[in-house]
Structure 1
């Protein structure tokens, strides 16, 4: 892999005198960030490890996050923000930024990655957008905007039992020795039709909103992994739950029936 240093991107000016909806801001942010990351990947990147061999970060992560932060300073200067790579400022509302969600895939030549942002207020999820460059797919949705994929409205989710749907998930290998957490994880995925471990929470959640995946179930997420995609699921009539159990936090989203059955299975007493 060729190496390239940090990049400061020259941004085209935006007309902030014209009101722009939050969901449209989110869509523009992820499209621009994802395009930048893809360009930098093609040119070659410097890679660093964070907590493990699979927890990686690249110059593209930092450059794309910087781009989003600079854009938000123009469009939403009074809002707070939290970025996976360390950007932070306080505000009544908060934008959560995942500049490259699925960095391990991104750097390994696997196309399953995205750029994602989610906006929250005191009531919870407000808007989200996910851009999946490999398929040029842009999901946008939120509290006041039904989810669209490349501008086309998605069908509302309908109830299906957990036994008939796929589950997207992840289980970190070092945790395999934690029998309690492994049992909790199996209590849900073991009741599904099949399980998929794909490597990008926000693309997974976009897939749930689209009906490609039946249920999202994962523990240990950062807020930037959750808020962008869950906005999309909620905006097509889906359900979402956060469950605290045995020292872990589980994030669940999908159609109402599958989510309810997953929560029940997770909370079921086990020996």
Structure 2
């Protein structure tokens, strides 16, 4: 389904306003940082404020749509559509003064992904796209991805240190990690997939990716002519996005671990 232009414009406005709010809060001084599951899994008042901004705007402009936010916003709605919200993706980076973070949203209709939008605070860049929506960056079409072999490109990935001891995660990861030209571990899934969609990175690979970390960026990669797939290996779901041949190679490597 091709998304309505009004939904596209709204998604762009939501992430742009959210990322500007979060950046302004960070610039004002000390952040109130709370730990969630680990020292690097954190939330700040900026996350909560940016999520509230998006939810309140959606309540005004799309009152029948549901929402699902990383920081707890959740409603089913009545339209069958749902907005998936990541108010600050890369919060640990955000708290450490890094510019590798963003705000992101996705829109789904039932199980169908319609669009994703990602705004990068440091550059002011907004990228939007979807399976039936060619990806654009600040309104300009991005070049469609060309099919490339995995050994010719980089892979952006993440594996939390607390999970390295889990054989069912580590072994598939190591098999896949042997394949690319190089690896990048930067700490924001939506930023990573925006990089894949715009050509700055080659491919994306991550296990146990929640919907707010997966859907916005996956939409961008699909809109840029790539593929985005979720595969189950040894009880864990892996998200992969990028050129077809590269993704297929990574999937085979992950599955090989399950066969042993």
Equivalent in the alignment of 1:56: 42
Residue 225 of structure 2 is aligned to residue 222 of structure 1: no
Query: Which range moved further: 97-106 or 170-179?
Result: 170-179
- Distance, in Å, in 1 between the alignment partners of 2:5 and 2:246 is 35
Alignment of 1:148-227 (within 5 A): 148-227=136-215
- Distance, in Å, in 2 between the alignment partners of 1:172 and 1:164 is 25
- Distance, in Å, in 1 between the alignment partners of 2:92 and 2:219 is 24
1:20 Cα deviation after fit: 5.5
1:144 Cα deviation after fit: 3.5
Equivalent in the alignment of 1:15: none
- Distance, in Å, in 1 between the alignment partners of 2:201 and 2:179 is 15
- The list of structure 1 runs, each at least 4 consecutive aligned residues, that deviate by more than 3 angstroms after superposition, is none
1:123 Cα deviation after fit: 4.3
1:122 Cα deviation after fit: 2.6
Equivalent in the alignment of 2:6: 21
What do residues 140-188 of structure 1 show as CA deviations (whole Å, max 9, x unaligned)?
A: 1123321111111001111000111100001110111122311101111
2:73 to 77, 80, 87: 87
1:121 Cα deviation after fit: 1.4
Equivalent in the alignment of 1:140: 128
Partner SS state of residue 169, structure 1: strand
- Distance, in Å, in 1 between the alignment partners of 2:130 and 2:83 is 13
Equivalent in the alignment of 2:58: 72
- Distance, in Å, in 1 between the alignment partners of 2:247 and 2:120 is 25
- Which ranges in structure 1 are unaligned for 5 or more consecutive residues? 1-18
1:245 Cα deviation after fit: 1.1
- Which ranges in structure 2 are unaligned for 5 or more consecutive residues? none
TM-score with structure 2 setting the length: 0.94
TM-score with structure 1 setting the length: 0.91
Contact 1:206 1:232 in 2 (8 A): yes
